[in-house]
Structure 1
């Protein structure tokens, strides 16, 4: 492999001149610049990024720790982050936490040891001492999708509360009254926010949400299957199962089909986190969609602002309801318009 000395010898210039050309320094003559670039091309020279980072204290590398790389939502988010970072001149190293706090901290520690310029994290829980220490130490960091309450770090996320309200309004308009939810982990902000939004929306429509209709999941398919089996074993099963993420919806779908039940004739199914394969199920699944690509791009820009000394800003984008046919909708359904709840109508 050619070294910078080889390039200098081939171009007939000093090592310092080669370095100036590689760093676009204006003090190099046009002739010397041409000879150096020709030598670089002929020898196939590639600058040593590690050595450069030791000199400049920059690696042009960002770290991304996502909650679960097998979750299509996070896979899409990671792709968006990588594409936007590359467009801005940064590389991305990705760590998969697999919804495990210990594995999350392992990746965070490894990335910090590699001298990354900044860190994007979707926290698996709300109290990682390592991330708290990193944030307090001034590590450029941005939370994406999830966040840790009380930590002074910019957050880029989607607000799904209005979309959850729209879903409950939609189900109510279809005649459904017994609605159940498979909630995500209470230790995650998205897990607690979605179940609370569902509870509030149910209350606005005068619908009860008994404990038996709240299944505790962990954003994995198996937990969705187990929770749905418990719902189906009730003396009065719910009419609708709302899974608070796509993998738990997949588990719910498996449990329903294993009982020989039909969607939506026997029980309806809806999900948070719309993904491409939802349109290919029979029937297609009604879901709440997050602006995943936009979140990834916004997270990269917030982190690069922090890395490059500009004040970063938190970003909150709206989620939206995508109506299909898994809840008893007619074959061609339009997105529902906002309707006042029965309780609101009685006050008017």
Structure 2
């Protein structure tokens, strides 16, 4: 840094401000510094800087990225926004396993990250204890995609009314035995989607047979086998299905194919979580779409605000969803888009 300062004819403090963007520097001075950086081939020693500042300008993201294409899209948007704000992002996959999540979070914290984005899981004392300690210590922590009862900044998509709308849409077509392929209840989002389905069943006078709730566990292969078992064992036909996430939708479609059932001729289907190839299926799938771009933008705003103002009260933001009406529900394509708050 001293070499850069001498070559640019400025102080090392000025060089530091230019490199770290900690204070506004005159444009002509900044240009001199960057020219000197280029000529000397200078690179900051980030390890030394982390030791000195106890921070790395790195944000860690811990969620089940590899196994869920929706999360991959979300992480891509977060990365773009963080880079534009001068941060680097690192990602670790939790496999939606609470014990893996605890291990992952500990390793990320050991890297002296400046903040942490987590897709939280419920029901694990070990994971809950780790997250509570971070909050008690004032560490910048944000929950994304899934609601949590912990007092943290969080952003997630609306689930209850969205799933109610999917179920009600099938009921409007005359369906009364509507099944629900349920996600893993370690996620508050899965619990909220189940609540939306049950609300519709109760308010709309639908069949309350508990066997209509199929535990898909948020897993493609589990959903396939359990939907297949349900359809095989059912004494009364299930005429419609609401599937609670995109992975289970793929498994459900495979189960229907194995039973030689045609959608929507033999069984109507709608799902929570639109995905890129939903309109490539035949028939095209009616779905609730989450807004990954808005989730990412809100998440980054909340986290950077927390880093800048550690003592502010936690904020919880619910992002509206959009109903994408296609053909799998059996009532024909028409313009029918609207947000759910």
Shared fold, TM over 0.5: yes
Q: 2:300 matched to which residue of 1?
A: 300
Residues 173-188 of structure 1 correspond to what in structure 2 (within 5 A)?
A: 173-188=172-187
Say if 1:6 and 1:213 are closer, same or farther in 2 by CA, change over 3 A.
same
Say if 1:268 and 1:21 are closer, same or farther in 2 by CA, change over 3 A.
closer
Alpha-carbon contact 2:116-2:140 (below 8 Å) kept: yes
The correspondence for 2:36, drawn from 28, 35, 39, is 39
Partner Cα distance (2:273, 2:294) in 1: 14
The structure whose Rg is larger is 1
Higher mean C-alpha displacement, 21-30 vs 135-144:
21-30
Partner Cα distance (1:221, 1:25) in 2: 47
Q: 1:334 matched to which residue of 2?
A: 335
Say if 1:34 and 1:166 are closer, same or farther in 2 by CA, change over 3 A.
closer
Shift of 1:15: 5.3
What SS is found at the alignment partner of 1:306? helix
Per-residue CA deviation, residues 106-135 of structure 1 (Å, 9 max, x unaligned), is 211111111111111101334312222222
Alpha-carbon contact 1:144-1:157 (below 8 Å) kept: yes
1:59 aligns with 2:61: no
Count residues in correspondence.
333
Partner Cα distance (1:318, 1:32) in 2: 46
Question: Normalized against structure 1, the TM-score is what?
Answer: 0.87
1:107 aligns with 2:104: yes
Say if 1:289 and 1:53 are closer, same or farther in 2 by CA, change over 3 A.
same
Shift of 1:249: 0.6
Partner Cα distance (1:305, 1:19) in 2: 23
Shift of 1:138: 1.5
Per-residue CA deviation, residues 44-96 of structure 1 (Å, 9 max, x unaligned), is 21212222233333321111111343312111111111111122221111111
1:208 aligns with 2:207: yes
Higher mean C-alpha displacement, 176-185 vs 68-77:
68-77
What SS is found at the alignment partner of 2:142? strand
1:85 aligns with 2:82: yes
1:70 aligns with 2:67: yes
1:196 aligns with 2:195: yes
Q: 1:50 matched to which residue of 2?
A: 47
Q: 1:265 matched to which residue of 2?
A: 265
Say if 1:198 and 1:31 are closer, same or farther in 2 by CA, change over 3 A.
closer
Name stretches of at least 5 consecutive residues in structure 1 with no aligned partner: 339-348
Alpha-carbon contact 1:170-1:336 (below 8 Å) kept: no
How big is the alpha-carbon RMSD for the aligned residues of Structure 1 and Structure 2? Answer: 2.6
Shift of 1:163: 1.8
Alpha-carbon contact 1:166-1:336 (below 8 Å) kept: no
Per-residue CA deviation, residues 191-249 of structure 1 (Å, 9 max, x unaligned), is 11111110111111101231211111221101210221122111223111211100001
Shift of 1:281: 0.4
Say if 1:48 and 1:275 are closer, same or farther in 2 by CA, change over 3 A.
same
What SS is found at the alignment partner of 1:42? helix
Say if 1:37 and 1:333 are closer, same or farther in 2 by CA, change over 3 A.
closer
What SS is found at the alignment partner of 2:277? helix
Partner Cα distance (1:223, 1:335) in 2: 32
Alpha-carbon contact 1:178-1:239 (below 8 Å) kept: yes
Question: Normalized against structure 2, the TM-score is what?
Answer: 0.89
Q: 1:141 matched to which residue of 2?
A: 141
Q: 1:240 matched to which residue of 2?
A: 240
Q: 1:345 matched to which residue of 2?
A: none
